[in-house]
Amino acid sequence: MKNYEIIGTFANFSPPGKLELSDEQYDARKHALKETGKKGVYEILSKVQFKRGERIGWDGEPSKMLLKNLEVSQEPKPVDEAKVE
Q: What is the pLDDT of residues 5-24, one digit of tens each?
A: 999 999 999 999 999 999 99
Q: How far is CA 34 from CA 24, 52, 67, 79, 81, in A?
A: 15, 23, 24, 18, 22
Q: Which residues contact 12 (CB under 8 A, 6 or more apart)?
A: 47, 48, 49, 66
At 73, is the pLDDT very low, low, confident or very high (cuts 50, 70, 90)?
Answer: confident
Per DSSP, the three-state class of 24 is: helix
**14 and 46 in contact (C-beta within 8 Å)?**
yes
pLDDT in tens, 23-39: 999 999 999 999 999 99
Q: What's the pTM value of the predicted model, to 2 decimals?
A: 0.84
Confidence of residue 84 (pLDDT cuts 50, 70, 90): very low
pLDDT class for 77, splitting at 50, 70, 90?
low
